[in-house]
Amino acid sequence: MRSRTSAPGFAEHLRGRLWGPAEFIGIPGRLFVTGVVAGSAAAALVVGTALAGMWGGPRELITGEAGLAAVAALAAYLVVLRAGRVLIGLVAVLGTCLAFMAPGVAAGVALQQRGLVATAAVSSVQTAARHGRTICSVTDTDAAPTGADVWRGCAASTAPGDTLPVVYDPRGRAPTRGVSTPGELRRSSLRLTGLSAAFVAACTVAVIRSFRMTAAPRGT
């Protein structure tokens, strides 16, 4: 009899730990605003630091490490709120993906704004096992930096000694890449926007579901 009565309580406790207690009726307006603001601020920091790194900020911002720090700070904030563990993990995963994606999109924006096209010679060709892309290592021919690896414009038929058009950053902040196809930057920006929206939404849900009518016992 004891096991029957304790099972529902344990299930409720486990559900609260995984998804948050959510002890409310309707949507708590204050927590909704808090979640949107916290998620939006973190997303703005992730994307903003990547853009700042391309436009004159510290070069350490280019790698996305500052964005990862912002995501870690947000995850710590959710832990303090005692949000659901699953939702905290979801926010952390989406934030990490955002932090890794933002520098690439920022580099595309920088190259579109100030990139210069040059001809580079192919020194080696290999196929990347992870993405199945053909990767060409190029060397300096005109003004393009030496030792860049590009996949745009690199085909299986490309051989060492061939030349490829590449776009490089005269400031040396954005990595050299092959010439993009029309609309590629727009598609990348839309994907980044969608991921940012999902990140903010997950953060908002985590904050809302952290609402607790009664004080939580220590250790939960």
Sort strands 163-168 and 148-150 into parallel, antiparallel or unpaired.
Answer: unpaired
SS3 208: helix
Nearest to 34 by CA among 217, 198, 211, 220: 211
Encoding tokens for residue 26? 């309707």
Q: Are residues 33 and 91 in the same domain?
A: yes
CA distance 36 to 28: 12
Q: Are residues 203 and 99 in the same domain?
A: yes
| Residue that is written with structure tokens 């598609």 in the block | 187
Q: Residue 118: which H helix or E strand, with range?
A: strand 116-127
pLDDT in tens, 66-100: 999 999 999 999 999 988 899 999 999 999 999 99
Regions of the chain short of the pLDDT cut 70: 1-18, 20, 22-26, 129-131, 141-147, 213-220
- Whole-angstrom CA distances from 217 to 9, 124, 140 are 14, 62, 64
In a domain? residue 8: no
**Domain extent for 146:** 116-168
The pLDDT value given to residue 48: 94
Q: Are residues 86 and 49 in the same domain?
A: yes
Read off the pTM: 0.81
The pLDDT value given to residue 29: 79
Contact 214, 45 (CB under 8 A): no
Sort strands 148-150 and 134-139 into parallel, antiparallel or unpaired.
Answer: antiparallel
The pLDDT value given to residue 180: 85
Domains in the chain, number? 2
In a domain? residue 155: yes
| Residue that is written with structure tokens 């029957």 in the block | 4
Q: Are residues 90 and 135 in the same domain?
A: no
Q: Are residues 156 and 193 in the same domain?
A: no
The pLDDT value given to residue 78: 94
The pLDDT value given to residue 133: 86
Nearest to 83 by CA among 210, 203, 202: 210
